[in-house]
Amino acid sequence: MSDARPAPEATRAPAPPTGEPRPAVLSTTRMRRLRPFVPAWPGEQVPADGGTVFLRHTPWTGPLEGADDGAPHERALYVHGLGGASTNWTDLAALLAVRLEGFSVDLPGFGQSEPPRGGYAIARHVRAVIAVLEHVRDLPGPGRGEPVHLLGNSLGGLVSLLVAVRRPELIATLTLVSPAMPVYRVPPAFDRAIALLLLPGIPTLAERRVSVGTAEQRVRGILAMCFGDPKRVPRARYDEAVEEMRLRDSQPWADRALTRSMRGLMTSYLRVGRANAWRAARSVAVPTLVVWGAEDKLVDPRLARRLAAALPDARLQVQEGVGHVAMTEAPEDTARAVLGLIEENAAETVTGTVTGTVTGTAERGR
């Protein structure tokens, strides 16, 4: 990757009207220019919730300006969505490597991870992500023992939100990219499909249908659903997706992982009280960034402001012309918002520490 030109000055929107979510602050940190194609980062199997999952690693590169000594060197975990894989984060992880050492997980049953020993309920994915977070936190080297920045998309976004509620001490900041929040009014065409998937035996029938068509045909269909403009997908990324689809076709558990995880997602939508994701959002105790594509065809973009308003400490970035996977379709815009959140949080933490120290010293001097 070659060096990028200096970034333009940060875009800080004016204070929002009362009741409006805070807009994302865009970092001015220089980032490396992405090559036309960044290969998938290498990885390995690691233990998680009684089994193993595949975890990719993006090394920290350090800042483009100034000395590496003393530069922030933190860790991040990236969690993909339903039917996705760790490779969905390749470009974003490359951009954020100026500050973050990245780890991208294949959820149980997806990518190169084997299926879990139990089922595919949301709670099981939550436990798996918690286990991986603990693993990443405890690895030797800079950042060991420190909270990890957690980023999730779609299903992975919902899982990440629930992880943040359950184990806030593990997380430094939270980024949710089009998270699969519960919806209760869906288009009429989907009503029957959702009801059927919840019935016993129906998921098995669905498994036989998800592999209909060639790998190329299914990839084109997925790109049409997930991208605001599928023409933005480089040929190399399309070829990579086709190879991943062929790998998926070779795994006897892949179709079950997809349909059972979808069923687990839908079942979670029916929960009420403290188990409901909207109620859980109000309990998130870490700084959060909500990123949404205005052309998202899978999760209604109108949920973006509702979610940002529900979270106690949230910023919002809505990307025009972008679909369901902003981190893949618009990685630089997404990276600048993520770094903006991290830098803002770091500055507030330092200010709070200094203020607390000064106040404590003054009180002791009375």
Q: Between helices 254-269 and 155-166, what is the axis angle to 10°?
A: 60
Q: Which domains does the chain have, with CATH numbers?
A: 22-365 (3.40.50.1820)
pLDDT over 60 at 316, yes or no: yes
Contact 184, 161 (CB under 8 A): no
Q: What is the pTM of this model?
A: 0.86
Q: Give the three-state DSSP class for 257.
A: helix
- Residue 95 burial (CB count, 10 A): 27
- Cα–Cα distances (Å) from 256 to 105, 112, 159, 229, 263, in that order, read 19, 15, 19, 29, 10
Whether the per-residue pLDDT at 348 is higher than 50: the answer is yes
pLDDT digits (tens, 9 = 90+) for 14-58: 445 546 789 999 999 999 998 778 999 999 999 999 999 999 999
Q: Report the alpha-carbon distance of residue 280 to residue 219 in Å, rounded.
A: 34
Residue 230 DSSP symbol: G
Residue keyed to tokens 């016993």: 200
pLDDT, mean of residues 346-359: 62
Please report which helix (H) or strand (E) contains residue 245, including its range. Answer: helix 235-249
pLDDT band, very low/low/confident/very high, at 272 (cuts 50, 70, 90): low
329 Cβ neighbours under 8 A, 6+ residues apart:
227, 228, 229, 232, 293, 322, 323
